[in-house]
Amino acid sequence: MNKHLGFVGLGKMGAPMAGRLLDAGYALTVFDTREAALAPFVARGAKAAGSPAVLASEVETVLVSLPTPGVVKEVALGREGIGAGSKVKAFIDLSTTGPRAAQEIAKGLADKGITAVDAPVSGGVAGAQKGTLAVMVSCPAALFQTLEPVLEVLGKVFYLGEKPGLGQTMKLCNNLLSATALAITSEAMVMGVKAGLDPRVMLDVINAGSGRNSASQDKFPKAILPRTFDFGFTNELMYKDVKLFLQEAEAMGIPMWVASAVGQLWFLAYSQMGPEKDFTTIVQCVEKWAGVEVKAPDAT
């Protein structure tokens, strides 16, 4: 396929993914609303476009990594969006929008002769930097075969089928489990510390036993015990993902008792700790009730 790609959205996830594509030898035309985000890519030889529509008039394949369904819809279907471009044929959405938004975008772009590729990713900033993301793809099978080499630059690629939105459904299921792990591990760790357990020993035991999960293995040791709260994902984005999951489940008529409780705790973190705070600050909601902190002895 053509080695010239477009990339829209050079944030915490988009920037390292776009950087890996440059490293792999792809030429990029890029767009972001922030000049500061564009500068490092221009310095590396990428071309900056004045709008998504301009970008989509220069390349056949566009990748986007954007924060919310509303922003993705505007970039895809807005007056200056990808759909207004004259050359683009494939729109690869690496964002988390939910399946219904993905289906709406796919229909809107199909009317303009553009095929939407649903390709949300999981693995965080570290995975984006290392190229170890899980990439969950739904699109026509023939197009997937063409695009797979591009997506493999970003991580391990999973093809889920042709139906628009299947990638988004998979991503929401994955993120619900991640959100639940962090929420429930926060409650367990706070209870143990309140009872007098050393949090480091607690994590050693949990990670050697049946309770181990992504929060106990990564988030607590790296961002909560040292009290840095800098894992790289915000309360706003995690609450958005859990809320999207619950909305989809409700639309399908599936009761979600545990997920609903998880959503309530994430709304608390979103509203009390702040939407832009790192999502590991959810533990502080529970700490405040208990009057303890889950921290290493030498943490500030």
The 8 Å CB, 24+ separation contacts for 26-33 are: 26/150, 26/153, 27/3, 28/4, 29/4, 29/5, 29/55, 29/58, 29/59, 30/6, 30/55, 31/6, 31/7, 31/55, 32/8
- The phi, psi pair for 262, rounded to 5°, reads -60, -40
Evaluate whether 115 touches 91 at the Cβ level (below 8 Å): yes
Compute CA 106 distance to the chain's CA centroid, rounded to the nearest angstrom: 19
Closest CA to 248 of 187, 168, 191: 168
Going by their DSSP bridges, the two strands 121-122 and 133-138 should be labelled as antiparallel
CA-to-CA distance for 77 and 185, rounded, in angstroms? 40
Instruction: Catalytic residue, from 107, 171, 219, 277: name it.
Output: 171
Which H or E element spans position 159?
A: strand 155-161
The one-letter amino acid code at 254 reads: I
Establish whether 163 is a catalytic residue: no
Considering just the CA atoms, what is the radius of gyration of the chain in Å? Answer: 20
- Cite the active site residues: 171
